[in-house]
Structure 1
Amino acid sequence: MADLQGTIVTWLGHATVHIATAKGTSILIDPFIEQNPKFPKNYKLPAKIDLILATHGHGDHIADLLEVAKKHDSTVVGMVELIGWAQSKGVKNAIGMNLGGSWKHDDVTVSMVEARHSSGISDGNQTVYGGEPIGFVVTIQNGPVLYHAGDTCAFLDMQLIRDLYHPQLAMLPIGDHYTMGPKGAVIAAKYLGVKSVLPIHYGTFPVLTGTPEELSQLLDGSGIEVKAISPGESLR
């Protein structure tokens, strides 16, 4: 298991993850809460959410972005087109980025990396272009390097993420159908060179059939640990 050095990573169902650094920076990734059938009952978001990271514009990743950002006065970080949409909806604090870029907030450096997916934003009766889908590398000062893949298939250039950022823990979608399944996640984990995988984006809806058990079986003997936790549980 990667040493999280005081950082706490809490899975909130689907692709929603909360990260609390040892210094106290609070980060929420892909807020999908009210309509998320796997969001843990009785869980309350922290009063302080410094950053919201949005990997792409699909509703099961940003459905609650606007409400949470306004309520918690959070800074939203994402692809420039998605951020432009969020600002048009009243989000005041936002950082638009693009692939390969990094931005520093206190003890956290956020780097934007490639993902292979799509990113249309459903806005009323229209679909708005949300820019390219992305993943995030979160590098914590005096702490771990974490990678949230967003929605993606496995791709060879994940090796560049390994070489550039050296992540220790990868949050990888395994549900299949809309993203890679366990077989793809095995290749992704090996390309990334990570010590541990937190499976995400599975079991939320019937079509997402990939399981942590299958991932564990396929990774057996690889030295990569699968940290399968229930929504609301944390890695420390």
Structure 2
Amino acid sequence: MTSLSSPARRSPQKKAATRKPNMREQVYLHLRTRMQKGEIQFDDRLVDHEIAADLRVSRMPVREALLQLKNEGLLDSTSRGFVLRRFTPTDIAQLFEVRLLLEPAAAAAACEKATLEGLAIMRMATDESEKAHRASDILAYMKANTTFRSTWISLVPNPHLATMISRLVDHVEAVRLATLRDPKWRASSLLSTQKIMDGFMKKDTDLVQESVRYNLRHAAAAYYAVQDAMMLENRQAET
């Protein structure tokens, strides 16, 4: 059973500067983190009273968190709870188009402001990504990759831009889980992470921008390849 009664540890400086999230915000962050890690998939149904019982909280903050995720375009409501939103190929193409406009420049700005602490977390996440890839542990790979990405996004000096990018990325997390099951595409993702890490370590904003573009283009290619394979399998099953 999961509980939200014990918040994550923070440094003394952050404790003083950061307001403790209320219960709705804690439930929201919990669910969003599970989505980012691939722990919630398309077949899962999110029911408020079940989540409330698991987290040992009341139904109201859970309901509010689910509605917030729905309003952000991450969930769809059904007669039996909430499910991950299924994006069309056109939706995905448009999301990648927007991300290509925003992320390279944002990553370059983050590179300029990178802290030693942030770089250390990114390096550790890169190493964990490589271990998970070699072990074919997809969920561990997604967890490490999410840590890497969320860390550099947290270094973006414009908080509004950082929030916008985080939400755009969240929209395709379930899609990423499908593509990362393929060792070829997972290897490409790992290479992108390593190139971005190299750019941050060298404080090379041009390398960071180009590496982020490479990552997005290959992520889009992986998505379309998986979609084509699924369509082919469906046609073969029908004949």
TM more than 0.5: no
Q: Which has the higher helix share?
A: 2
The structure with the largest alpha-carbon Rg is: 2
Shorter-chain TM-score range: under 0.3
* Higher normalized strand content (fraction of residues): 1
The alignment's TM-score, normalised by the length of structure 1, stands at 0.28
TM-score (norm 2): 0.27
